[in-house]
Amino acid sequence: MKKWQCIVCGFIYDEAEGWPDDGIAAGTPWQDVPADWMCPDCGVGKEDFEMIEIG
Amino acid sequence: MSDNAPLVIVGTGLAGYNLAKEVRKLDSERELLLITADDGRFYSKPLLSTGFAKAKEADELAMQDAATMAEQLNAEVLFHTQVTGIDVQRRMLQLGGTEQAYSELVLAVGAEPRRLPWADDLGDRLLSINDLLDYGRFRTALKGKRKVVIIGAGLIGCEFANDLLAGGLEVTVVASDPYLMPQLIPEPVAAAVQTQLEALGAVFHLGCAIESLEAAQEGVSLRLDDGSLVIADQALSAIGLAPRLSLAEQAGLQVGRGIVVDRGLATSQPHIYALGDCAEVQGLNLMYVMPLMTSARALAKTLCGTANELSYPAMPVMVKTPACPLVVAPPLTAESGHWSTTGEGSDLQALFHDDQGRLHGFALTGSKVAEKLKLTRELPGWLLATPS
């Protein structure tokens, strides 16, 4: 399981935890997060995701 | 005539660079020039108040340098360059001795930390952090030191208090505010945050005015009006930000708290726009990332030929105090009303209702942060789309 960080706002998406608020189950790998999902803190879209792998 | 001149963005913070990225998604060709007084490195500003916990040097927080950004954006980036004036009639920028034409101009110049009256005398002993260069300067000043006094108990003061404590430093917070973040949250919620920061070792002197702030040995000494004396190795000023207005004022643009723009982010002068911390949209001057990103997307469309109006949903702010996780939706849409707080310990839910009982804002801590999404759906938007 990896973590991904939004480079705009610092939000961390942890694959182990998913993002249940938006219906993304725990354990969802980054590539399976829906293409139209947006960073919950800054609204950056996934398509140009500006997210970096941090671990 | 300047229609063949580049689109010029002044400022390369989150507002300037994200606007440039959004423009490039819509138009890969248009000539684009960014001008910045600093070094033009791209970084995430919110991460500045998380850097000590992670022991990050300024260079490690920088993601791309100006040359890399220029290449990625297919743009020119002029760094270490001060814009000294705008000739609105001729659509020209003055850059010290030279001039630069623009077809359209975007001011993304940000905000300036308010300065304490002692700042000039104390030099590096009293710093503020509002950009990556400031962050680097503060880290350098702090080398080998342990005790930090933070002046100001707003959002930034609290975030840095938490981050410096997590980074192993001793922190004292001095503020005239009666409790933490009084402009954002009600007193019981502030008390929960304060309790958790105290558990990490923070010492608070709230409701105090500073009578004197002087250099003492290697650090500073503060005398407060309640008679207490605070000694520290380093001081950090976090008493708020003021939009940078001088360039706009000098060019005759209408300013209020920020540079006044309409729902299209246009200023009072043709061909000049503003966004981010320096801009005021219908009375709102919101210095947060999400409004900034929303503005960047809307303005990029306008600049690329699709005029559109900015609208803001309610956008809760995550306050980076991991000792006591906190999310706040300030009640911007209510003239008056009251907070009511429920919960226990550091798991609190505070709701702001107007006199008719409608929800306008909230503050959630600890486990209650999980209610954010549900409550956000109940809030009115901050800037509603006008009916067509």
Domains within chain B, CATH numbers bracketed: 7-112+241-303 (3.50.50.60), 115-237 (3.50.50.60), 325-377 (3.30.390.120)
As a whole-number percent, the residues of chain B with pLDDT over 90 amount to 94
End-to-end Cα, chain A, rounded Å: 8
- Whether B44 and A43 lie within 8 Å, measured CB to CB: no
Q: Give the pLDDT band of residue B315 (cuts 50, 70, 90).
A: very high
Q: What is the DSSP-derived secondary structure letter of residue A28?
A: -
Q: CATH number of the domain at A3-52, please?
A: 2.20.28.10
- Tell me what pLDDT residue B220 has: 97
- Tell me what pLDDT residue B388 has: 60
Q: Is the pLDDT of residue B149 over 80?
A: yes
Q: Is A24 on the interface with B (CB under 8 A)?
A: no
The full set of domain ranges for chain A reads 3-52
Count H helices, E strands: chain A?
0, 3
pLDDT tens track for B223-249:
999 999 999 999 999 999 999 999 999
Q: Is A54 on the interface with B (CB under 8 A)?
A: no
Q: What is the ipTM of this complex?
A: 0.76
Q: Which of B50, B318, B328 to mutate to test the interface with A (most CBs of A within 10 A)?
A: B318
Find the CB nearest B289 among A21, A42, A48.
Answer: A42
Q: Is A12 on the interface with B (CB under 8 A)?
A: no
By DSSP bridging, strand B147-151 and strand B234-237 are parallel
Q: Is B18 on the interface with A (CB under 8 A)?
A: yes
Q: Is B53 on the interface with A (CB under 8 A)?
A: no
As a whole-number percent, the residues of chain B with pLDDT over 70 amount to 99
Q: Give the pLDDT band of residue A40 (cuts 50, 70, 90).
A: confident
**Closest-CA distance of chain A to residue B110, Å:** 16
- Whether B25 and A8 lie within 8 Å, measured CB to CB: no
Q: Which chain A residues are closer than 8 Å to B18 by Cβ?
A: 8
In contact, B19 and B106? CB cutoff 8 Å: yes
pLDDT tens track for B166-200:
999 999 999 999 999 999 999 999 999 999 999 99
| Chain centre distance of CA B202 | 24
pTM, two decimal places: 0.93
Helix (H, G, I), strand (E, B) or coil at B170: strand
Find the CB nearest A41 among B290, B370, B373.
Answer: B290
| Alpha helices, H only, chain B | 14-26, 58-61, 66-73, 119-122, 132-142, 155-166, 187-199, 246-250, 289-303, 372-378
